[in-house]
Every structure is written in structure tokens, then in C-alpha cells.
Amino acid sequence: MNRNWLFSITLFGCSCAAFSQSSAPVAVPDLEPGAGKSGTPSVSGLNPAPIERALLAAASKAQEIPNSAALEKAWAYYGKWQGAWQAGHAKPTGQDREEVIAYTDSLLKPLKKLAETEKLGKSSLDFDRLKKAAQVGSPEFNASRQNENTQALKALAIMGLTEHELDIRHPDPVRNGVKMAYLVLEKLEPRTPLDPDIYFFMARIALDAQQNEFAWTAARLGAYMKAEPEDHDLEFVCFIGAAAAGEQWPAIQKMIREVAGDAAQADRVLAKAAPFFSGKIKFQNVPPAR
């Protein structure tokens, strides 16, 4: 299943864009003091968390559960329609769009009850909380484990981004794709702080809102947290790094080698990412498809 975070990147072209700007930029949470800086020492100096990579990734892996049917269905829609506004991509029919909206609406119905059950809060990237949650077996770790409810909320956020890709509009601005997705993610993050997908999504949205510092911190946190990253996870982190901290390319290369599964994966990712830092690629937002 394609879970590529990058929606409109031309790797070797003359321009590069994060994703469509079909909704107004959203506010992102304040960083905790020092959150944008390096946390625990690392070869690259780019780990933003006060937790060693091995411990953070092990805790993240330990709290995972198999994807629910609801989450798998959301990922499938997301993979099918990412980049749908681009030339050459299959275009949705009216029925396709109605199907996506109907599934999103079905996930919205139990939102209030799920939020109350899971005691959702508001994100602030609290690294003290994260450090406690990363201690496998601790009360904080057990409280942060995923369950079917949190996966239903994650599916809702994914469907919000899927609607964003299809430029679906709703009368209520809070219901519109990327806005709704971020509102869910910022409340889900304190409940499941060891889920790297949440930080990758936050980074994607924050970059569109031109909150580069937050985007770069969130992307790095996801990278150090992901126990078994796929190539596209690491390519995404490089992309955010190029857009938000291009001058850190030497350190970013070291970071990728720190978090990659092996040297071969790191070599592949860095070869694809190098053009981002060449100075020949222009980072810009693209208008929504019509």
C-alpha cells in the first residue's frame, strides 16, 4: 500500500511543492522550550527528543497494534487519491467524491464519544511526557498504546487529508479536509505520542502553513521514532529538511544513516533526496485543482 507522504514532488524537475493549498493555513501548537533543538546526543545532532533513537523506536514499535478495518480503508482511499489534482493522475468521478465524503462522515459520527472515551487533549509536543511514555511497561506507556478507538480517529484524520487532495469543500470550514485533519491530530497526539505517522502528518500540514520550525521538528521526531522506516518516510523527512533547513544537508545525511534500516536504504534515500538540496529546486505551494 502506498503511504507516501509526498504528494507532488518532482524529484529531478525544476520545481517542488509540498501539497495543494485548498484550505486556509491552520494554527500549529506551540513548541515546548527547546523543542526545536537537538535532544539526546546523536551522530547528526538532529534528534529533537531527549530519548535515544533505539529506546524511542523500540517503544513506538511496542505500542503498535494491527490496523483496524477502518484504518486500512482510510489508508486505501488516501493512497488512491493522493496527488489527484496533478496532470496524469486518474480523476475522481462524482460518485468517487461522494463515496469519500460518505466514509469520512461515517467516521465523524462517533467523534464526540471517542474524544470523551480516550480523554483527548491538545498537543504541545511535551517531551517530558514523551520520555515517560517511551519507558516500555510504565503506566505512561500503557496509557499511550493504540486501540481501535485511536485508530478510528487516525482514520478520520487521513480521510480529511484525502478530501483535501480531492479539493472537497464543505459549508462549515472546520469540516474542510486539512483543517479537520489537524484538529483531530493535535488532540490525538497526546493520547498516542509514540505513533510516528502523527508527526509526519503534522509536519506535512505545518509546512503548508509556513510553520517551518514546527514542521522540521515533527518530521525529525517521526524519523527517530519510526522503528522500520520505508524509503518514502525518509525521503519525506529530507524534503521537509530541504524546505525548512536546507543548510543542514550534511547533518541530514548523517541523520538518515542513523535512522535507516541499513546502509543500502540510506544510499537510496540520499541519492533521491540530493536534488532537493541542489539549489535548483523551488519549493512552493500549488493551487487546488478545479
Helices (DSSP H) in the chain: which residue ranges?
Answer: 53-62, 69-81, 94-108, 111-117, 127-133, 139-143, 148-165, 177-188, 196-208, 212-225, 231-245, 249-259, 263-273
Higher pLDDT, 24 or 264: 264
213 Cβ partners below 8 Å, 6+ apart? 31, 36, 244
Evaluate the CA torsion angle 277, 281, 282, 288 in order and state its sign. negative
pTM for this prediction: 0.84
Which one of 2-6, 10-14, 244-248 scores highest in mean pLDDT? Answer: 244-248
Measured CA to CA, the distance from residue 264 to residue 129 in angstroms comes to 34
Q: What is residue 282's predicted lDDT score, i.e. its pLDDT?
A: 67
Q: What is residue 38's predicted lDDT score, i.e. its pLDDT?
A: 55
Measured CA to CA, the distance from residue 118 to residue 251 in angstroms comes to 38
Identify whether the C-beta of residue 187 lies closer than 8 Å to the C-beta of residue 115: yes
Measured CA to CA, the distance from residue 146 to residue 70 in angstroms comes to 14
User: Which tens digit of pLDDT belongs to each residue from 166-201?
Assistant: 999 999 888 989 999 999 999 999 999 999 999 999
Q: What is residue 128's predicted lDDT score, i.e. its pLDDT?
A: 87
* The three grid cell numbers given for residue 24, joined into one nine-digit string: 486556509
CA atoms within 13 A on the CB side of 164: 32
- Across the range 251-258, mean pLDDT stands at 96
Dmax (CA) for the chain in angstroms is: 52
User: Which tens digit of pLDDT belongs to each residue from 202-253?
Assistant: 999 999 888 999 999 999 999 999 999 999 999 999 999 999 999 999 999 9
User: Which tens digit of pLDDT belongs to each residue from 54-71?
Assistant: 999 999 999 999 999 999
Measured CA to CA, the distance from residue 118 to residue 56 in angstroms comes to 23
Adjacent-strand bridge partners of 20 = 286
Sheet arrangement for strand 282-286: 8-9, 15-20, 282-286
Adjacent-strand bridge partners of 9 = 16
Q: What is residue 124's predicted lDDT score, i.e. its pLDDT?
A: 64
- Which DSSP symbol is given to 93? P
284 Cβ partners below 8 Å, 6+ apart? 15, 16, 17
Q: What is residue 106's predicted lDDT score, i.e. its pLDDT?
A: 97
Q: What is residue 41's predicted lDDT score, i.e. its pLDDT?
A: 63
217 Cβ partners below 8 Å, 6+ apart? 31, 35, 36, 48, 125
pLDDT at 269 over 60: yes
Backbone angles phi, psi at 134, to 5 degrees: -75, -5
For 48, 92, 200, 261, 288, the CA distances from 39, given in Å and listed in that order, are 4, 44, 18, 22, 37
pLDDT at 47 over 60: yes
Structural domain spans, the chain? 8-286
Identify whether the C-beta of residue 223 lies closer than 8 Å to the C-beta of residue 259: yes
Percent of the chain clearing pLDDT 90 (strictly above): 68
Q: What is residue 42's predicted lDDT score, i.e. its pLDDT?
A: 74
pLDDT at 10 over 60: no
pLDDT at 286 over 50: no
Q: What is residue 283's predicted lDDT score, i.e. its pLDDT?
A: 63
**Mean pLDDT across the chain:** 84
Higher pLDDT, 119 or 265: 265
* The three grid cell numbers given for residue 237, joined into one nine-digit string: 523527512
Q: What is residue 17's predicted lDDT score, i.e. its pLDDT?
A: 33
